[in-house]
Amino acid sequence: MIPIALLDVDCNLDRAWLNDLAEMLTVVSQRDFAKPEPHGYGVGAIVRVAQNSGDIAPGEWVMAFISHPDVAGALGYHDVTPSGQPLAKCFPFLDDESMRSVTASHELFEMLANAGLNTSVVGPDSVVRAREPGDPVEALSYPFKCSSGRTLNVTDWVTPAYFSPPSDNSAPYDAMGQVTQPGQILPGGYQILWDATQHSWTQQTNGEKRAYRQRMDLLGTTRMVKRNACGLVPPGHPQVFTNIIDVARGEKPANIANAAKQGLGAVWAKASQGKDWTDPTFTLFMQEAKDARVLRGAYHFASGSSDGRQQADWFLSHIGPGMGDVLLALDWEHNPDTANGDMTLEDAEAFVSRIHELTGRWPVLYSGLDFLLTHHIPTTSVLRNCPLWLACYGPEPMHVPAPWTVWDLWQYTDWKSGPNDKVTYPRDTPGLGVRVDRSAFRGDLAGLRTWWSACGCASASTNTP
């Protein structure tokens, strides 16, 4: 569940109302919105009221209530901060008091479903839609009875089935059961669509507005402007680069040279595991990647067989000289080898500290979302210095566990599972000849090269054409 703080910036809203709103958003998001796809989006929230801006915890998303809109006429919108942290803004004094909770729930659901403002879905009609679940039905709402006795209104929202219906039509298209077909826009609603001819996002309505929400047509426009300003990613846009693979001995005979001719940008190869095992194909993969002039990375698979410092020394001894352009990573995840078990948090910290001690750079940390959540890593951990390579097969992770606030790389598929949007996030690697894991980077290939160098690989930018 995503931790979210309600912050009254300068509105002096009734504290009891805010407490009731927090209760409503928590209950409805966890009970309904967090249902597994296609009935829900698989993510909910734990919402509380913050005392002030100093009361915001690290990693906590914020819904701010602000008296004066920073976008003319907007009732609310969701955005991302410069560091990539999701943020919602609500402007309650432009809204009817009875409808303020509708705007708040609208922004919460859209922030949960499209945290990075970069998720779109190709529907069965081949139309590309931004995954904004509140927009098509935003004129509809239903009551919620708080424990205090107050009744607040919750916005209607469309389910994932609205964007990509299951073959058996087993899921409703919206929470209130009012939508009768995928892609339908109800009176007072709108959609954000990708116009391939204009290469831009456009807004579509059904031409009808309800009187009490007449401002919503302006709100829709201002949301569009804001999203375009902060980078709603066009489908297939190089702002999300996904031609990054990782390989080990099971992936031979991968044809890296051929894949490089078709856009392969980076190769991670397994180098070692524990304190006494090395991958026999590592050196070959590294040479092939170097010859193909693609970015190179090496990872060590963590084990509970020995302490972290020993494993770091073993890893570096296998990397050897002449690999200053190789980015290093610790693969810290569940180890199916029950004899050795998982590496502990303390040993993971010892491993990355030893790498930093010997090389002057922090390694990338690879791990799965569930694995990190179960370890409750403190915000003071040295792991916070490591760029995060997050594994999560499916929609983009809506929450990054502390001590991180954003992912640097996202392993989005093991080729079998992954996001439904296979246009933006393909599962096959052209020219490689085998199916492998793929990862995404926020940016284009030039940006990836810059990031690779910034992580300590001085020659990364020169090992490429």
Q: Would 183 be classed as within a structural domain?
A: yes
Q: Would 235 be classed as within a structural domain?
A: no
Give every CB contact of residue 247 below 8 A, 6+ residues apart in sequence: 254, 267, 268, 269, 270, 281, 285, 436
Whether 294 and 168 map to the same domain: the answer is no
- pLDDT at position 458, please? 41
- Strand 388-391 and strand 409-413: the pairing is parallel
Domain end residue (candidates: 193, 209, 230): 230
> Residue ranges of the chain with pLDDT lower than 70?
70-73, 82-84, 94-95, 195-201, 207-239, 252, 321-322, 338, 397-399, 456-465
Whether 423 and 323 map to the same domain: the answer is yes
Indicate the SS3 state at residue 37.
coil
Whether 283 and 171 map to the same domain: the answer is no
Domain end residue (candidates: 230, 260, 293): 230
- pLDDT at position 210, please? 32
Q: How far apart are CA 38 and CA 170, in angstroms?
A: 9
- pLDDT at position 185, please? 93
- pLDDT at position 73, please? 66
Q: Would 324 be classed as within a structural domain?
A: yes
| Residue 215 Rama label (left phi>0; alpha psi -120 to 50; beta) | alpha
CB atoms within 10 A of CB 167: 6
Q: Which domain holds residue 222?
A: 2-230
Q: Would 379 be classed as within a structural domain?
A: yes
- pLDDT at position 35, please? 94
Whether 260 and 376 map to the same domain: the answer is yes
- pLDDT at position 110, please? 93
Q: Would 122 be classed as within a structural domain?
A: yes
Whether 73 and 166 map to the same domain: the answer is yes
- pLDDT at position 303, please? 92
- pLDDT at position 164, please? 87
Contact 86, 27 (CB under 8 A): no
Contact 441, 240 (CB under 8 A): yes
Dump pLDDT digits (tens) for 334-369: 888 767 789 999 999 999 999 999 999 999 999 998
Q: Show the tokens assigned to 110.
A: 């859209």
Whether 393 and 435 map to the same domain: the answer is yes
Q: How far apart are CA 225 and CA 202, in angstroms?
A: 10
Q: How far apart are CA 31 and CA 175, in angstroms?
A: 12
Whether 371 and 451 map to the same domain: the answer is yes
- pLDDT at position 237, please? 41
Contact 113, 119 (CB under 8 A): yes
Whether 204 and 268 map to the same domain: the answer is no
Q: Would 325 be classed as within a structural domain?
A: yes
CATH number, domain of 317, equals 3.20.20.80
Whether 223 and 309 map to the same domain: the answer is no
Domain end residue (candidates: 212, 230, 248): 230
- pLDDT at position 302, please? 95
- pLDDT at position 380, please? 87
Whether 207 and 316 map to the same domain: the answer is no
Contact 64, 90 (CB under 8 A): yes
Report the number of distinct structural domains present in the chain: 2
- pLDDT at position 72, please? 62
Whether 225 and 249 map to the same domain: the answer is no
Contact 174, 139 (CB under 8 A): no
Whether 164 and 295 map to the same domain: the answer is no
